[in-house]
Chain A
Amino acid sequence: MVTFGSLFQALEVVFSWPTLGWLLIGTIIGIVIGAIPGLGPNLGMAVLLPLTFRLNGIDAIIFLICIYLGSVYGGSVPAILVNTPGTAGAAATTLDGYPMARLGRAKEALVVSATSSAIGGILAGITIILISPLLVAVVLLFGSPEYFLVALFGLSLIAVVSKGSMVKGLTVGAFGLLISTVGYPIATGSPRYTLGIIELYDGISFVAVLIGVFAVGEMIKLSAEEGSIARENFDLGGPIMPGFRIVLSNTRTLLKSSFIGGIVGAIPGSGASISNFVAYVEALRSDEDSESYGEGNPRGVMASEGANNATVFGALIPTLSFGIPGSGSTAILLGGLLMHGIRPGPALFAENLYITHSIFIGLLVASVFILLVGLAFLPRLVYFTKIDTNYLIPIVLTLSIVGAIGLRNNWIDVLTVIVFGIVGFYMREFDFPIIAFVLGVVLGPIAEENLVRSLQISGGSLDIFWSSPLSILLILLTVASILSPAFQQSRGDATD
């Protein structure tokens, strides 16, 4: 049964001022960031994270998560109008959205996109709130050894499902873990790798690493590309009802896509960039009129957009319950949670359940905002697809670097942002899964703390890591995920 007490408390929080204001601002900023090709939720969240310092914890998290949700929807605008997905999560939207625009149905496609995004998100959100008691029961089974093992499993899985080779994923993941060990460890009292520099005693800020990798690295990459300016113009006049009717008469496609989005989102390392294609392919497979996909079938837009917003909800499950982010955006969100003293884990499902419910209810309200803002400002959204990214690069870089010094007033953070921006750029260039590196940095302290605490409980014995059925299951899953490429390869060899 859903805990009604915490739900009412969450409703009170979300509908209070200024929380509702931050929710709306976050959603609008997200939509704008998503609508500008080349930017995206990771960059927007990373750059604005230091600015949330002055907000209270729940307001800051709701603001950040609304940027994430808004930009996933915003990405569909350039996908439909200029055949360039604003975010990776809207890539499948181009397949039918752009042909619809070319057929003179741009407004219909945009209405289908806004409605599907909103309803897909709402369906996923309600489902997660309903199953939250089950999540609570599962999360409460976890102790320090299980948390350490789940962090290891998360890292191995992320390395496996991310783009690029598994060895690359594991290597950069371990490198990220290594970077996180600089400074004073939580469990022991002696400093590590500080080189006598006082500024390094607090360690390397993982928020600075995130800003570097996602904002500075992305801007260096963008500077090497031609400024993306959309020149096409579409007529966005006419009624919005036909788009609504399409969505309401295809509820099965929407339900299925929302469900797929939620499930895929909950798998670490996947995210909207995968879920929109999985949902699109499933819609195509099960549709009697599959021939029309790719030619401007609105159900193609529905499938992709219904799934990608639902992914945001699914991605929050591992982030909030185990502290294992499912994507770059949730890694930044985790950074925000820790920065504001909110630790993921059992507490978020017990005494602080209202925080978890506030986040999900905030997202439900943001989904409604997406529909209202998306439809009300539909013709205005076109302008954002025409912004030349060359003008945005120096502003984003300024925000990133000034934001870095704002984190702790520590020059090491400025250096971290720049160095990891450059390192992140080259990692991306050479197909190293950047998400594995980021998660290494983010998960490092959590994994180490639980490792040391487990060893302290067991008096130094490693037996504690296979003393419960849950621990054994986690070990088996980790081993299976690490060995899976070898199995797959040997199976491929046998087939050949």
Chain B
Amino acid sequence: MAVTDFVPNEVRTRFTLRHVLVGSMIVVGGLMLVGSFSFVREAYLFPRFAAIVTIIGSVLLLVQNYLPERLNRAISSSVDVFGETEKELSESVGSDREESADEASSDTGQTAPTQFMTLLLLGFALCSYLVGMLWTIPIFIATYAWRFDITRKRTALLALVGFGIGLAFQLVLDIPIDTGLIFEMVTSRW
């Protein structure tokens, strides 16, 4: 049973990723505001100012729907300095967008591409740190190709191109991306 099963439906529909994003900004802003009290005058002025604006703005965005109508409108309003005609024209371009793969995958029960990509990227970073980025690139590309139904031949080609990019960076910029933490641990023990 998932944790979200215990959350009432009403709360679940109101609590979205937007709230997570705004909430994260409040948490980061709050921690950095508290941290700024340990700095000398020249150093605290700027982060404290930025943290206060971030927190106030984020809180307003978080509680915006519970504010009086007038205030709510003031928060969501945007200034259009370039007139309505340009706006209407720009909205008419590309209005017939295809169904997104995220929407499509919710029907098939597959992991949504955006969630998959998020996990894949975090996995790429972790794996690169442990075994070396150069060796992780083909695995990363193969995993991506598997999820997005790319043929084996094309997967091999993409992996080769990716490995080539990594190798070129290593040679041109002289960065050691062929070793990771595990390699270093093993060599230091020997």
- Contact surface of A with B, Cβ cutoff 8 Å: 50-51, 53-54, 84-85, 91-92, 94-95, 160-161, 163-168, 170-172, 174-175, 177-178, 181, 185, 187-188, 190, 192-193, 216, 219-221, 223-226, 270, 273-274, 277-278, 280-281, 390-391, 393-395, 397-399, 401-403, 405-406, 409, 411, 414-415, 418, 421-423, 425-427, 429-430, 432, 440, 444, 447-448, 451-452, 455-456, 460, 484-486, 488-489
Task: Given A190-B40, A280-B89, A427-B21, verify A181-B175 contact (CB < 8 Å).
Answer: no
A421 touches B121 (CB 8 A): yes
A274 to chain B, nearest CB (A): 6
B42 touches A185 (CB 8 A): yes
A401 touches B175 (CB 8 A): no
Nearest A residue (CB) for B103: A224
User: Which listed residue (A398, A406, A425, A489) contacts B141, Cβ 8 A?
Assistant: A398
A281 touches B112 (CB 8 A): no
Which residues of chain B have C-beta atoms less than 8 A from A171's C-beta? 25, 53-54, 57-58, 60-61
Which residues of chain A have C-beta atoms less than 8 A from B182's C-beta? none
Interface string of B166-190 (1 = CB under 8 A from A): 1001001101110000000000000
Identify 5 residue pairs between A and B in the complex whose beta-carbon atoms are under 8 Å apart, listed by A's number. Answer: A168-B57, A193-B47, A398-B140, A398-B162, A409-B176
Which residues of chain A have C-beta atoms less than 8 A from B89's C-beta? 92, 95, 277, 280-281
With A and B bound together, what is the CA distance between A484 and B190 in angstroms? 68
A273 to chain B, nearest CB (A): 8
Q: Does B12 contact A (CB under 8 A)?
A: no
A430 touches B21 (CB 8 A): yes
B76 touches A165 (CB 8 A): yes
Which residues of chain B have C-beta atoms less than 8 A from A401's C-beta? 121, 124-125, 128, 133
User: Which listed residue (A163, A223, A414, A460) contacts B113, Cβ 8 A?
Assistant: A223
Nearest A residue (CB) for B124: A401
- Which residues of B, 124-175, contact A by the 8 Å Cβ criterion? 124-125, 128-129, 133, 137, 140-141, 144-145, 148, 150, 154, 158, 161-162, 165-166, 169, 172-173, 175
With A and B bound together, what is the CA distance between A390 and B113 in angstroms? 11
With A and B bound together, what is the CA distance between A167 and B53 in angstroms? 10
Q: Does B3 contact A (CB under 8 A)?
A: no
A193 touches B32 (CB 8 A): yes
A225 touches B79 (CB 8 A): no
A265 to chain B, nearest CB (A): 13
A108 to chain B, nearest CB (A): 21
Which residues of chain A have C-beta atoms less than 8 A from B43's C-beta? 185, 187-188, 190, 192
User: Which listed residue (A95, A172, A414) contacts B128, Cβ 8 A?
Assistant: A414
A402 touches B169 (CB 8 A): yes
With A and B bound together, what is the CA distance between A444 and B93 in angstroms? 35
With A and B bound together, what is the CA distance between A444 and B29 in angstroms? 15
The number of inter-chain residue pairs (CB within 8 angstroms) is: 233
User: Which listed residue (A192, A390, A415, A432) contacts B125, Cβ 8 A?
Assistant: A415
With A and B bound together, what is the CA distance between A394 and B158 in angstroms? 8
Task: Given A92-B93, A223-B113, A277-B90, verify A174-B137 contact (CB < 8 Å).
Answer: no
Instruction: Specify the main secondary structure of chain A where it touches its partner.
Output: helix
With A and B bound together, what is the CA distance between A415 and B125 in angstroms? 7
- Which residues of B, 75-132, contact A by the 8 Å Cβ criterion? 75-79, 81-83, 85-86, 89-90, 93-94, 97-102, 112-114, 116-118, 121-122, 124-125, 128-129
Task: Given A168-B61, A391-B150, A401-B125, verify A447-B46 contact (CB < 8 Å).
Answer: yes
Task: Given A216-B121, A278-B86, A390-B148, verify A455-B42 contact (CB < 8 Å).
Answer: yes
With A and B bound together, what is the CA distance between A488 and B128 in angstroms? 52
Which residues of chain B have C-beta atoms less than 8 A from A50's C-beta? 173
A328 to chain B, nearest CB (A): 17
Residue among B36, B47, B60, B145 with the highest chain A CB neighbour number at 10 A = B47
B141 to chain A, nearest CB (A): 5
A408 to chain B, nearest CB (A): 10
Which residues of chain B have C-beta atoms less than 8 A from A398's C-beta? 137, 140-141, 162, 165-166
Which residues of chain A have C-beta atoms less than 8 A from B113's C-beta? 223-224
Which residues of chain A have C-beta atoms less than 8 A from B21's C-beta? 423, 426-427, 430, 432
With A and B bound together, what is the CA distance between A464 and B22 in angstroms? 35
B9 to chain A, nearest CB (A): 22
Which residues of chain B have C-beta atoms less than 8 A from A192's C-beta? 35-36, 39, 43, 47
Task: Given A281-B85, A281-B89, verify A402-B177 contact (CB < 8 Å).
Answer: yes
B70 to chain A, nearest CB (A): 8
With A and B bound together, what is the CA distance between A488 and B77 in angstroms? 9
Nearest B residue (CB) for A93: B93
B117 touches A220 (CB 8 A): yes
With A and B bound together, what is the CA distance between A420 and B32 in angstroms? 18
